[in-house]
Structure 1
Amino acid sequence: MEPHHDHSIHKHHVEGKNLVYSIFLNVVIVVAQIIGGIISGSLALISDALHNFSDVLSLLFSLVAHKLSRHKASMHQTFGLKRAELIAAFVNAFTLVIVAFYLIYEAIDRFFHPKEIGTEIVIWLALLGIVANGFSVLLLKKDADHNLNMKSAYMHLFSDMLASVAVLIGGLLMKYFHIYWIDSVLTLIIAIYLIIVGADLLKKSTKMLMLFTPENIDINEIIAEVHKIKGVRNMHHIHVWHLNEEELHLEAHIECTDDIKMSEFNMILEKAEEVLHEKFGINHITIQPEFRREDDKDFIVQD
């Protein structure tokens, strides 16, 4: 079996320190909301503080997963801990959906049982939440575009920022127009958005954890391209999966047309590596060479 590991592909370097800054900012928000909730008598603020505290835990989980994913491979962990971030993304996406359903429950309850609260403190704390979470969102935006774990943390922070915007709008309307139902309506809209985004993250992380073939990969196209290489009779027993978001793996058997030397097979292998990397972005390839071997020649074989 001939393994190949191509590290020439450019990898985005995720800044773990941005998560640390975001955690600090969210701790400030939690403390401020608890104090503000006690002073204003707002149960909603204290509830939101608990929600933000759950986000702090999610950010901590993402940070730990980020650190673990950087551990080097060993004899006992031959892939290192690279899938830790996928697990974090799955857990954070799941909690995002749970939080969304909780917000829907709170919004419906608040709609039928509106509460008059001290709007001044609510408005100022909403502004604090917008600024702090907005800054955190900006810190993680670039990483979120390249890393599912960071995207799950980013979405938690983005949802908090949207919630703070809703609280600000609600606070202003309650203060000047005594419209108390608007807070519930805005919360419902945000919750529905969170369910849509959270479900998408949950779907993507689940597929990666379950080693599904990536959606942008067509195995039939891979087979067609490899079969064009001179000396290849048949490519079969194919598996394609994401180890993490940066590493796309393929393993397969290739039956040769002739009983060739291994040095000659290396030339076939190099051409296959080039095609798979350039056309499909596959950067970790393991090929088993065969010649007239009695085995299942189906493209996909149940191991």
Structure 2
Amino acid sequence: MSHSHDSSHRHSHPDLKGRNLIISILLNILITVSQVIGGLISGSLSLLSDALHNFSDVMSLIVSYIANLLSKKQASDRKTFGYKRAEIIAAFVNAATLMVVALILIKEAVERFFDPQEIESDLVIWLSLLGVVANGFSVLLLKKDADSNMNMKSAYLHLLTDMMASVAVLVGGLLMKYYQYYWVDPTLTLAIALYLIYMGYDLLKDSTRVLMLFTPDTIQVQRIVKDIEKITSVKNVHHVHIWQLNEDEVHFEAHVDFNEDIRLSEFDNILGEIEEVVYQKFGINHVNIQPEFDKPDSKQIIVQD
């Protein structure tokens, strides 16, 4: 059995700026406290819902920060993969909290529709402006890392949706101030909640796929098998498993049946060809092959262990 792990060119470890996460956490604590006080004074449900979302931002950013720290810890004999999945778990938790917060907001908005209340719009306007500026700054801080990391993307989405929610609350505050459209408050709350569900669903689905060891959507198992079977001496490829460990690592393991009883040195050469094929065509950077010759086992591509 052989295993490749060429970190010289097959791994990318982006610098996840913990400093930016800390700044974002402090800004969101400031926003949350301000909006809770302002929401209670003004009677604005949309402002309180925005504060609740900001509180979920604080928690998600803390989770992301801890996961970022854990992911850098070294592997050991008790933790052979280290904490490489910490950030995937953080992404899952953050996406799930987006959905929970959304359901709470929907409930509150429906109740307010049947019991509309007058809102102190000036306070709503100023505090929503604070939310737009602070969250906008945080979004800019995390945007670069969000492109390459699921954990950072989850934190980025929390902040992006909250910035947009603050914009919506600002518009609502202006409408209530100048036109007394108080129904706008629960309407905006409902819109914010639906948008949270829309944004959180894909991230929840993607992180679940990784945690469940599903084959990445971009990889076709049948194509990999056919490409490997084109290599000289390879008779059959079966018992295939493909999974994504984290943002950087995709693992492939399989049993390979050979036409002849080859020497170990010959197998090493063929293994190099297999590694090159699966990396260049499918981005797989960890390969684990069990060589076989006339072994009486199942030759199906997918075998239930």
Task: Place the TM-score, normalised by the shorter chain, in its bin.
Answer: over 0.9
Deviation of 1:183 after TM superposition, in Å, equals 2.6
CA distance in 1, matches of 2:49, 2:201: 24
CA distance in 2, matches of 1:215, 1:44: 38
Is 1:98 the counterpart of 2:100 in the alignment?
yes
The count of aligned residue pairs is 303
User: CA offsets per residue over residues 212-231 of structure 1, 9 Å max, x none?
Assistant: 01111100000010011111
Query: Residue 3 of structure 1 aligns with which residue?
Result: 3
2:200 aligned to 192, 198, 201, which one? Answer: 198
Which consecutive residues of structure 1, in runs of 5 or more, have no partner in the other structure? none
Is residue 71–residue 86 contact of structure 2 (8 Å, CA) maintained in 1?
Answer: yes
The normalised TM-score by structure 1 is: 0.95
Residue pairs, 1:209-248, within 5 angstroms:
209-248=211-250
CA distance in 2, matches of 1:91, 1:127: 28
CA distance 1:41–1:206, shift in 2 (3 Å): closer
Between 224-233 and 188-197, the greater mean CA deviation after superposition: 188-197
1:20 aligned to 4, 19, 22, which one? Answer: 22
Deviation of 1:186 after TM superposition, in Å, equals 2.6
Q: What amino acid is the match of 2:10?
A: I
The normalised TM-score by structure 2 is: 0.95
Residue pairs, 1:1-303, within 5 angstroms:
1-7=1-7, 8-9=9-10, 11=12, 12-40=14-42, 42=44, 45-46=47-48, 48-303=50-305
CA RMSD of aligned residues (A): 1.6
Which consecutive residues of structure 2, in runs of 5 or more, have no partner in the other structure? none
Deviation of 1:165 after TM superposition, in Å, equals 0.9
Deviation of 1:175 after TM superposition, in Å, equals 0.3
CA distance in 2, matches of 1:147, 1:183: 35
Deviation of 1:104 after TM superposition, in Å, equals 1.5
CA distance in 1, matches of 2:33, 2:257: 64
Runs of 4+ in 1 over 6 A off after TM superposition: none
CA distance in 1, matches of 2:295, 2:49: 65
Q: What amino acid is the match of 1:275?
A: V
Q: What amino acid is the match of 1:13?
A: D
Q: What amino acid is the match of 1:290?
A: E
Q: What amino acid is the match of 1:245?
A: E
Q: What amino acid is the match of 2:186?
A: S
CA distance in 2, matches of 1:238, 1:10: 23
Between 52-61 and 203-212, the greater mean CA deviation after superposition: 52-61
Is residue 45–residue 186 contact of structure 2 (8 Å, CA) maintained in 1?
Answer: no
Between 114-123 and 254-263, the greater mean CA deviation after superposition: 114-123
Deviation of 1:159 after TM superposition, in Å, equals 1.8
Between 284-293 and 31-40, the greater mean CA deviation after superposition: 31-40
Deviation of 1:73 after TM superposition, in Å, equals 0.7
